[in-house]
Structure 1
Amino acid sequence: MDMDLQLKQVTEKNFFDLINLKSEEDQEKKFQIFERFVGSNAFFIALASVNGWTCKAIYDRETLIGFATHGLDRDHDRYELVSLMLGHQFQRKGYGIPAIKLVIEEMKEMYACDEIYLSVIKENEPAILYEKVGFEPTGEIFQAFHPEPIYRLKV
């Protein structure tokens, strides 16, 4: 598949498209703070505004396909890939690993960090992609609405 992935700013122009991008088709008719495996994009945009995190729209050329949030986890003094999602219509099409790598590259440039952390809901099978790019379980558990194992990538 020929793709041209880019991270773009969240703007007035793409805001509503972003908050309407859902990770599962059955979420299309709902507006919720949390979907089954991920907080809504609206939730992460709001959370980023109070935590000083960066939100990015993920595009393949001119098509919005996903969303990511990253920044400093002040509680643990480490950089975290807070959220990454692909719209359900773009899943299982080869976007996952390139999208993760693109966000990791931006984080390395922005923060000059040597480690990146993330947490996933255990039942979120697609999250196994994170291991394919080098994230390893730390043994820690982040207790959010679900117990979420924490992973670390040494960059």
Structure 2
Amino acid sequence: MNLFLQPVNEKNWRQVVQLEVHSKQVNFIESNAQSLLEAAYDYSLHWHPLALYDEDTLVGFAMIGALHEESMWLDRIMIDQQFQGKSYGKHFIPLLLEHMQQTFPVRRVYLSAHEENEKIFAYYQKLGFIDSNEHDPANGERIMYYNFKK
């Protein structure tokens, strides 16, 4: 694997919009088109949409932002349905965390997930996230966080 992140831009946004999760996952994440619209028009949270590549192949999408004090959100991460089950998420999440720590003054990263997506919580915990046992009042999703080591 030769994984890297690239900002979504005028050259790759159409490909990013075409990425899709499995039909059983559609209710767990906003579409990439909706995420890009949010990034373009919700200035207050300074979203950064990122294309996830393995060499020349676009395999996924992530969106980070909402920097506040020393924390920010890994708000979206998805791997296209044809690339799921190949450990991309397991490798991209640490890459995203490293990017966030090197690019922004953060000590903690938050993410949230739907309760119905039961398997995802153990998956995130294996990657170092901690269950806050709290829910996002805006969408009812369960919040997890990752603390960078000092």
**TM-score, scaled relative to structure 2:** 0.87
Of residues 123, 129, 135, the one that matches 1:135 is 129
Of residues 97, 108, 115, the one that matches 2:101 is 108
Q: CA deviation at 1:46?
A: 1.5
Provide the identity percentage. 35
Deviations 1:50-72 (A, max 9, x none): 23111100000000000000012
1:121 matched to 2:114 = yes
Distance in 2 separating the partners of 1:88 and 1:45: 19
**Is the contact made by 2:4 and 2:55 (CA closer than 8 Å) also made in structure 1?**
yes
SS in 1 for 2:101: helix
More helix, by proportion? 2
Change (3 A) 1:85 1:55: same
**Is the contact made by 2:110 and 2:144 (CA closer than 8 Å) also made in structure 1?**
yes
Ranges in structure 1 where 5+ consecutive residues have no aligned partner: 28-34
Q: CA deviation at 1:112?
A: 2.4
Change (3 A) 1:133 1:22: same
**TM-score, scaled relative to structure 1:** 0.84
Written as runs of structure 1 = structure 2, the 5 A alignment for 1:1-155 is 3-24=1-22, 35-49=26-40, 50=42, 51-72=45-66, 78-128=71-121, 129-145=123-139, 147-155=140-148
Distance in 2 separating the partners of 1:52 and 1:114: 18
Distance in 1 separating the partners of 2:58 and 2:19: 9
SS in 1 for 2:14: helix
Residue-pair matches, total: 144
- Code of the residue aligned with 1:47 in structure 2: it is E
Moved over 6 A (4+): none
Distance in 2 separating the partners of 1:16 and 1:24: 19
Change (3 A) 1:112 1:73: closer
Output the aligned Cα RMSD.
Answer: 2.0
